[in-house]
Amino acid sequence: MTRQAHAAIAAHQRNSRQRRHLRGGASRHRAGLDWLGASELEVNREEEEAMGMGMGEPHRTANQRIAHRRRLLDTFGDSLVFVNNLYTKRFDKKTQRKVPAHMPHFIDRRIIEEAQAAFPKEWEATSKRRFRSSQDMQYGFSYFYYLIESLSEKDVDWEYLWARELDVDNNGVLDENEILTVAAMVKGKEPTDNDITKTRECLTDAAVELSGTRRITFAALVQCEKAVTGLRKFVKKRKSDYVIDSKLADVAFEMIGDNYNDTKLRLDSIRARKSKFVCVNDDMNAPTVELTAMLQNFYLSFFPHRSQFELPDHKENRYLHVDEYWSAKRRNGRVKQWHYMMLILIGAYLLMTSLASPPGDKSLPEDSEESGLGEASGALRKKRRRRKKASDLKDTKRDN
């Protein structure tokens, strides 16, 4: 057995263990987030067989089949393993992590910016790749587990807490109503009158010590040890409280292929479930006309009316990329500008010509031909000359 084969087998076994680790176990997540398990990391065996590299092919040796299988593993699953290893090293604990479901997720921009700052090289490399890679920072998986596990290594963002939850009127000072909010968060439940009094006294004493006034500013808040301790405990507990929802009743995820009957069963199951979130993964290579029509009817069962952003059936988008569209739009804009400029010049010329020839002046200057008044002016001038010539000839005959 070659060294490359040994390396391929070792890599396969190592990553298989990682995948089993990701699939099983009792992991947790923030309330309201749905997660997928084993099915999300399964190798697409049909794809292997279609490419002539199925694991059951008799003409390949076991080592060759393992090596080929390793190359064909879904890059999505590989990226999960990559992030899982990265987080295990960073946060120094073996959390049994699962995979977020294919559904919309709320992303806190401040948190994702922190996550990207914590792993700048990995995120930058991910953003530069055009296609999926085994070393991508898988977005949902990276975000949610950073949100959960980074709590152990950072303190509360006091300025953010002050601006978002405490000083809600943004006047820089806590009033009596806002002090009640602080007391409730410090207590972790409904505060008694005694709790509110103690919190107010602590905040007021800190304010007097700092500025000689009773105005409770941000500086007074962070100077009050009772408030800081209680708020820190409250915020960390709130962010660390998460449970798992493995039933996925609100999420429908189906992978459809070229098999008509199998695809029909999957799409009809989505119709029957009426889930809040639907993800149809397109694994079709050469769909038939019947299969395409069935998929179209499936979409129409959810959205029978065309949105304002959709083109009519007889039209197609001429642009594959957005930059092509904007380039064409700028080009058309320049053409329109030239048209407008030409119209303005023509209009100005006609106006000047009309002003140069006042109404009622029927005489034509001798040099009108040189002034470029046109063929009509030239014809009138010739007619006048002929008349003058005939008149002169008549006078000559009369004299004779």
User: Tens of pLDDT along 36-74?
Assistant: 443 334 333 333 333 333 333 334 454 544 444 444 457
**Domain limits of the chain?**
3-153, 158-240, 251-302, 317-357, 366-400
Tokens of 82: 């990559």
What number is the average pLDDT over the span 17-36? 41
Lowest mean pLDDT segment, chosen from 2-11, 168-177, 230-239, 256-265: 2-11
**Both structure tokens of 196:** 């509110």
What pLDDT is recorded for position 239? 67
| 368 DSSP assignment | T
Strand 99-100 with 35-36, pairing: antiparallel
Read off the pLDDT band of 240 (50, 70, 90).
Answer: low
Mean of the per-residue pLDDT values of the chain: 77
Q: Report residue 277 as tokens.
A: 């979130």
The mean pLDDT value for 200-219 works out to 87
Q: Residue 54: what pLDDT?
A: 33
Separation CA 82–CA 96 (nearest Å) = 14
User: Encoding tokens for residue 68?
Assistant: 């080929």
pLDDT digits (tens, 9 = 90+) for 147-162: 888 877 778 889 989 9
Tokens of 349: 């010329």
The tokens for 152 are: 């152990």
Closest CA to 72 of 15, 21, 2, 20: 15
Q: What is the pLDDT of residues 172-183, one digit of tens each?
A: 999 999 999 999
Task: Tell whether the model's pLDDT for residue 94 goes beyond 60.
Answer: yes
**Cα distance between the two ends of the chain:** 133
Looking at residue 375, its pLDDT comes to 59
Q: How far apart are CA 166 and CA 259, in angstroms?
A: 57
Q: Which residue has the higher pLDDT, 362 or 216?
A: 216
Distance, in Å, from the CA atom of 190 to the CA atom of 184, rounded to the nearest integer, reads 6
**Which of 167, 157, 35 minimizes the C-alpha distance to 108?**
157
What mean pLDDT do residues 279-307 have?
92
Minimal CA–CA distance to 33: which of 100, 111, 108? 100
| Chain centroid offset of residue 74 CA | 23
Query: If we measure between CA atoms, which residue out of 230, 82, 86, 100 comes closest to residue 150?
Result: 86
Residue 351 is predicted with a pLDDT of 86
Q: Which residue has the higher pLDDT, 19 or 374?
A: 374
For the cut 50, the answer to whether the pLDDT of residue 144 exceeds it is: yes
Dist CA 308 CA 285 (whole Å): 30
- Report, as an integer, the average pLDDT of 118-136: 93
Question: Minimal CA–CA distance to 143: which of 197, 95, 99?
Answer: 99
pLDDT grade for 383, boundaries at 50, 70 and 90 = confident
- pLDDT (0 to 100) of residue 86: 92
* d(C-alpha 209, C-alpha 196), whole Å: 20
Q: Which amino acid, residue 287? A: P
| Torsions phi, psi for 255 (to 5 deg) | -105, 120
**Mean pLDDT, residues 299-325 taken together:** 87
pLDDT band at 31 (very low <50, low <70, confident <90, very high): very low
Which residue, 307, 177, 298, 160, is CA-closest to 235? Answer: 160
